[in-house]
């Protein structure tokens, strides 16, 4: 039983040591893919939904998986990512909307406009240019984006909590072992009678 407690304590301490490290590494990887405007992995990009414009389909703090493509590859009803502003400073900012329809300004399709709308009741239809189109949303990871919004002080508190919990478990196991060593070992009656 003691060996089982030692293995359990060792596994717990290793888990407590690796959990903050894994959180930090995943935070760094997601940050790299989320906030760089043209960064993608195998033509897929990731970003965190910042508002509830697409509620209930997408919620705030969901991570969205977006496939980089052109506006000609999407059809009505698809969820797309757009850049709401065409300034250089806002290239990393993305909004998620549902494509309502595609309009062309003239017969030669030189100028394409997209009509988009959020799923929320409060959203109105918007007309955007094809230059504002960023890609097609292909999936989501619900509410995991909250990890990206953890402040450094919160991360420090998480480290302190994990380490203090691990220290508490180790101390409790050591105290239990010490108490077990102090307990008198019962001697069988047969051994006492044989000694007399």
User: Percent of the chain at pLDDT above 90?
Assistant: 16
pLDDT at 25 over 50: yes
User: Percent of the chain at pLDDT above 70?
Assistant: 60
Residue 21 has phi, psi (to 5 degrees) of -65, -45
75, 99 in Cβ contact below 8 A? yes
The residue among 92 and 36 whose pLDDT is bigger is 92
Q: How much is the mean pLDDT over the chain?
A: 75
Distance of CA 21 to the CA centre of its chain: 15
> Among 48, 47, 104, which residue's Cα sits nearest to residue 71?
104
176, 5 in Cβ contact below 8 A? yes
* pLDDT for res 22: 57
pTM above 0.85, yes or no: no
The tens digit of pLDDT for each residue in 119-176 reads 988 888 999 988 889 899 999 988 877 766 665 566 666 777 777 888 888 888 888 8
> Among 50, 47, 53, which residue's Cα sits nearest to residue 66?
47
CATH of domain 39-142: 2.10.109.10
Q: Is the peptide bond before 45 cis (omega within 30 degrees of 0)?
A: no
* Confidence class for position 32, pLDDT limits 50, 70, 90: very low
């Amino acid at each position: 039983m003691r060996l089982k407690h030692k293995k359990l304590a060792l596994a717990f301490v290793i888990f407590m040591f690796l959990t903050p490290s894994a959180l930090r590494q995943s935070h760094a990887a997601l940050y790299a893919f989320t906030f760089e405007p043209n960064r993608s992995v195998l033509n897929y990009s990731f970003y965190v939904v910042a508002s509830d414009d697409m509620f209930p389909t997408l919620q705030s703090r969901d991570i969205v998986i977006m496939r980089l493509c052109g506006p000609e590859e999407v059809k009505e009803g698809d969820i797309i990512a757009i850049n709401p502003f065409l300034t250089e400073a806002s290239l990393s900012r993305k909004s998620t909307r549902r494509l309502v329809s595609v309009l062309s300004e003239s017969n030669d399709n030189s100028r394409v406009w997209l009509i988009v709308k959020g799923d929320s009741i409060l959203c109105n239809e918007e007309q955007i240019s094809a230059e504002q189109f960023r890609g097609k949303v292909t999936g989501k990871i619900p509410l995991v984006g909250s990890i990206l919004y953890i402040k450094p002080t919160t991360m420090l508190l998480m480290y302190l909590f994990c380490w203090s919990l691990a220290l508490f478990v180790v101390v409790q196991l050591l105290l239990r072992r010490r108490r077990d060593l102090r307990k008198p070992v019962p001697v069988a009656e047969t051994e006492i009678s044989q000694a007399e």
